[in-house]
Structure formats: C-alpha cells, structure tokens
Amino acid sequence: MSIIDEVLKNNEAYAKGFTQGNLAMPPAKKLAVVACMDARLVVSKILGTKEGDAHVIRNAGGIVTEDALRSLVISHYLQGTQEFMIINHTDCGMLTFKDDDLRGRLQKETGTDAVEPGRFFAFPDLEANVRQQIQKVKSHPWSPKKVPVRGFIYDVKTGRLREVAA
C-alpha cells in the first residue's frame, strides 16, 4: 500500500470522529505564522493552537517569499489577523546547501535550466535569516504598521522556541 493510501485510511477514521465542522473562516486567535516545512515541526502542537486558530504558511526554510507575502496580505486584510510570527529551526535543511550548487546539480541531472524557482533561499546563518525574514515583512509597502512581526528559532532537540531580536 502506498503512503497516500495509508493516510487516506487514517482520514476515514478522522472524518468519523470529526466535530469541528462549524468553525468560522477568520482565525480565532488572529495569528498568522510563517514556518519551515520541516516534518519535525507540527506548528499547532508547538504553539498549542487548535483548528480555526491561526493561519500557517509553510515552505522550505520558513522564508518570506513573494508567495508568503501574498498570503500574509490576504491573512491580515481579508481575514483579520493582527500578529505575524516567523519560525525557523535548528538543523534546518536550508543550512546544508548553496543555491548555485543545487541549481547546477538540477541542470546536470535534468539536462535543462529553468526560470522558476529563481532562488532556493538556502542560508548559512539561522539568526541572520530570521532577522532578514522579519525585515522582508516589515519593509513591504502593504505591511500593516500596527501588526507586530516577531521571529523565532525552534529547537528540534528541546521543542522550545527562542525569540530572535529584530
């Protein structure tokens, strides 16, 4: 059985006990999170949030890309979120390679270059990366000035979040 078939079975069981069908669309805690896609981060468990509480925008690295900005803008202006949180983490895969090396490898393996993705956003310094993501949100012309943007490093060994000063 493929993994997808396996998780579909899990979903059958989940749907049988499902009781959260009447939640409102806007996040109840008015929180939006940008986090790395790393499988060790289960954001709702880390933050103690439930269904309907927060928007969670995830990608490789927890990077404020154009698409993450798109989601944050929608999250605030259309869904009313009032605080933005960025979560990177220790032992991130994005610390383990360089954009140019991956691009070169892909060109070699596939025999072709590609316009997109234009960048992979690999980074060598976790704290500096978090500060850069905060800046990317804050410096955007549509960034809501009243909305706090705070950055954190999640420690995959301890489960603890540590704030990075902006």
Select the span of 51-59, 85-93, 99-107, 132-140 touching Zn ion (CB under 5 A): 85-93
CB of 127 to Zn ion, least distance (A): 14
DSSP state of 116: S
For residue 154, which phi and psi values (nearest 5 degrees)? -90, 130
Q: Compare residues 74 and 95 and give the one whose CB is closer to Zn ion.
A: 95
* Residue 36 lies near Zn ion (rule: CB under 5 A): yes
Q: Compare residues 74 and 126 and give the one whose CB is closer to Zn ion.
A: 126
CA dihedral 33, 39, 40, 41 (to 10 degrees): 10
Percentage helix, strand, coil, to 5, in the chain?
35, 15, 45
For residues 87 and 63, the answer to whether their CB atoms sit within 8 Å is no
CB of 53 to Zn ion, least distance (A): 22
* Residue 32 lies near Zn ion (rule: CB under 5 A): no
In this chain, which of 33, 38, 120, 152 binds Zn ion, going by CB under 5 A? 38
Touching Zn ion, residues 86-145 (CB under 5 A): 92
CB of 164 to Zn ion, least distance (A): 15
Helix axes 66-79, 126-138, angle to 10 degrees: 50
Which single residue is written with the structure tokens 């992979």?
Answer: 120
Residues near Zn ion (CB under 5 A): 36, 38, 92
